[in-house]
Structure 1
Amino acid sequence: MAIANRAFVVLCFLFFSCQQQKQAETTKPVENENSVEKSIAQVKAELGKKGYQTFDFVDEETKDTILMQQYFMAFLKNGPNREQSKAELDSLQVMHLTHLKRMYDEGFADISGPFGDNGDIRGITIYKVATLQEADSLANLDPMVKAGRLVIEVHPWWAAKGFPLR
């Protein structure tokens, strides 16, 4: 009986090992023969046609060409009207988050979030648009701004394309 139990355990182990291997093989990324990496010049030209400001430089250490793109950082600061009731504030927060989701979904914003302290600057949103006026206009659509709870201060900001936050 002990041999039968061991055999059963070994068979189960082999079965589940094979299943995990099969699943790992089917979830591996498959290279798409239709996808072609674009050169820095192509990306720069495409961004330029859309009105984005860019520049590039060569990293002396790696000899890689780094493409910099202009974004716009909107600082969300304490506004003049911060006396909302809890119910009003809860509603505004839902509308604020819905606005930010729309900015992400439509490709206007790349990242945003609140600061962890209770200072005058409450948070930031980084807009991926061509002009300061467009970023300012989108930021001022935020229901928290419309209600006066927050005010917006927008600044141009440069970042290297393709480099993740770490």
Structure 2
Amino acid sequence: MSFLTKKFTLQLFLFIFIASISYSCLVPEKSKTANDNSTKNNAEPSIDSVLAKQLGADDYGMKMYVMAFLKKGRKRWMIDSVTANKLQKAHMENIGRLADEGKLVVAGPFADNTDLAGIYVFDVKTIEEAQKLCETDPAIQAESLAMELHPWYGSAALMKTVEIHKKIAKKSY
């Protein structure tokens, strides 16, 4: 495995780990009842089966997504700065639209200077569905960005990311 692949894998793991921890810190603990004494010694966690079903979680609290790795596109270097700014604005508007539609649960850029520009995590069943969503991105249409798509098994809690993000973001693009 190359250094960049190892570094990327570590960054992706850390991102998912931090997102999962952030979510668990934002969810209030269920209040205890007087009749809850019988479960004090029970080692099994309290499961919110309604929430699990709502989020599409399996027995492990996980579900399938499609992850898109955004890469610098082949025409990126041919685009002037005015056009690049317009593409970035349209790219961000498309991200917002996909998130509002419930199709995009996580998106963000990488902070290092490599050919990997960022990720999308789609709540779709197939690579083909994700491909169609990617094709709505003006930056991909202009070949400023390119996508590499993979099925991905992750925490169903990610489905709450957009909702939580809207509660904590002071600005939007």
Normalized against structure 1, the TM-score is what? 0.61
What's the Cα RMSD here? Answer: 2.6
Match among 50, 55, 63 for residue 38 of structure 1:
50
Structure whose alpha-carbon radius of gyration is higher: 1
1:67–1:161 Cα contact (<8 Å) kept: yes
Aligned length in residues: 113
Which residue in 1 is equivalent to 2:150?
155
Taking the aligned partners of 1:93 and 1:107, their CA distance within structure 2 comes to: 21
Change in Cα spacing, 1:84 to 1:39, as seen in structure 2 (3 Å) is closer
**Aligned-pair distance for 1:162?**
2.6
Decide which structure has greater strand share: 1
1:75 aligns with 2:69: yes
Q: Percent identity?
A: 34
Change in Cα spacing, 1:134 to 1:97, as seen in structure 2 (3 Å) is same
Taking the aligned partners of 1:77 and 1:144, their CA distance within structure 2 comes to: 11
Normalized against structure 2, the TM-score is what? 0.58
For structure 1, which runs of at least 5 residues remain unmatched after alignment?
A: 1-35, 48-53, 57-65
Secondary structure of the residue that 2:114 maps to in structure 1?
Answer: coil
Taking the aligned partners of 1:102 and 1:135, their CA distance within structure 2 comes to: 14
For structure 2, which runs of at least 5 residues remain unmatched after alignment?
A: 1-47, 162-173
1:128 aligns with 2:140: no
Match among 107, 111, 117 for residue 112 of structure 2:
117
Give a deviation string over 1:73-125, Cα, whole Å, max 9, x none. Answer: 10111111012111100100000000000000100001101100110110001
Change in Cα spacing, 1:68 to 1:37, as seen in structure 2 (3 Å) is closer
Higher RCO (Cα < 8 Å, 6 or more apart):
2
